[in-house]
A and B are shown apart, each in its own frame.
Chain A
Amino acid sequence: NAGVTQTPKFRVLKTGQSMTLLCAQDMNHEYMYWYRQDPGMGLRLIHYSVGEGTTAKGEVPDGYNVSRLKKQNFLLGLESAAPSQTSVYFCASSFDRAGNQPQHFGDGTRLSIL
C-alpha cells in the first residue's frame, strides 16, 4: 500500500540549477496538489490538478511549473532554482471534489538551494 510516493526525499541544488520533483499515487485519485512548507507559515499551495492533462495555479506558483501527463503522476519543476525556494515540498492527492474527502500526503522532499 504505497499511497503517495515522492522522489527524491532530499536534494541540494545550486542557484540557477533546474530539477523535477516526482509525485506518484496508486489510489486512482483525480486531484493532486503540490505544497511547500516553511517554518511558521503552514502549507501553501503551489499548483494543483483536477485530472489528467489539467493544471492550475495555487497561492504561490511563481518559479514553478507542473505537468500531469498521466493520472497517477504529478511533476513539479524548478527551472532556475533560487535560495527562496529552499523548503520542504509535499505532494497530496484526493479522490473527488465532493468536499468531504481528505487529502493523502507523501513524506515530503527536503530541498536546499545554495
Chain B
Amino acid sequence: GDSVTQMEGPVTLSEEAFLTINCTYTATGYPSLFWYVQYPGEGLQLLLKATKADDKGSNKGFEATYRKETTSFHLEKGSVQVSDSAVYFCALNGRANQFYFGTGTSLTVIP
C-alpha cells in the first residue's frame, strides 16, 4: 500500500544552518507530494507541493524536488531561522484521494 517514511527527529540546528529532512514514499501510480508544517498548538499548514516527477515545490525559502527514480521528496532550506522551529510532515495523495502522512520531524533552531 501507499506510505511515507521520513527521517526521525528531533533535529536541532543553529540559525543560518542548512536543513535537509529526508522523505521517501511508496505508491502505486503517480501521487502528488506535499510538505506540511505544524507550529505549536496549531493545525497543519501546507508548505509546498509537487504534482509530477521532476517538479520542484518551493515556498518561504524551502524547496523539495519530486524524484521518481529514487521515490524521494526531501525538504531543504539553505539558511534556517528561529521562526522555522516546528514539526514538518511529508505526505502523499494516493489512491481514492486519501492522504498518507509521515510521522513528522521536529525541528528546533537555536539562535
Identify the 4 closest CB pairs spanning chains A and B, nearest first. A105-B43, A42-B103, A100-B51, A97-B97
Q: Kindly count the residue-residue contacts between A and B in the assembled complex, taking CB atoms under 8 Å apart.
A: 52
- With beta carbons under 8 angstroms apart, the residue of B32, B44, B49, B104 that contacts A90 is B44
Q: Give the interface of B toward A (CB within 8 A).
A: 31-32, 34, 36, 41-46, 49, 51, 89, 93, 97-99, 101-104
Contacting pair B101 A43 (CB below 8 A): yes
Give me 6 A-to-B residue pairs in the complex whose CB atoms sit less than 8 angstroms apart, sorted by A's number: A42-B104, A92-B99, A99-B31, A100-B51, A104-B46, A106-B43
Q: Give the interface of A toward B (CB within 8 A).
A: 4, 31, 33, 40-43, 45, 48, 50, 58, 90, 92, 94, 97, 99-108
Contacting pair B49 A58 (CB below 8 A): no
Contacting pair A100 B43 (CB below 8 A): no
Known: A41-B103, A42-B89, A92-B43. 4 other contacts (CB 8 A): A42-B102, A43-B44, A92-B99, A99-B97
Contacting pair B103 A31 (CB below 8 A): no
Contacting pair A43 B93 (CB below 8 A): no
A100-B51, A102-B49, A107-B43 given; A45·B93 CB < 8 A: no
Contacting pair A99 B93 (CB below 8 A): yes
Q: How far is the CA of A97 from the CA of B31 in the complex (A)?
A: 12
Across the interface, which residues of A come within 8 angstroms of B31, CB to CB? 99
Q: How far is the CA of A92 from the CA of B51 in the complex (A)?
A: 20
CB distance from A40 to the nearest CB of B (A): 6
Q: How far is the CA of A104 from the CA of B43 in the complex (A)?
A: 9
Q: How far is the CA of A4 from the CA of B45 in the complex (A)?
A: 12
Q: How far is the CA of A105 from the CA of B49 in the complex (A)?
A: 16
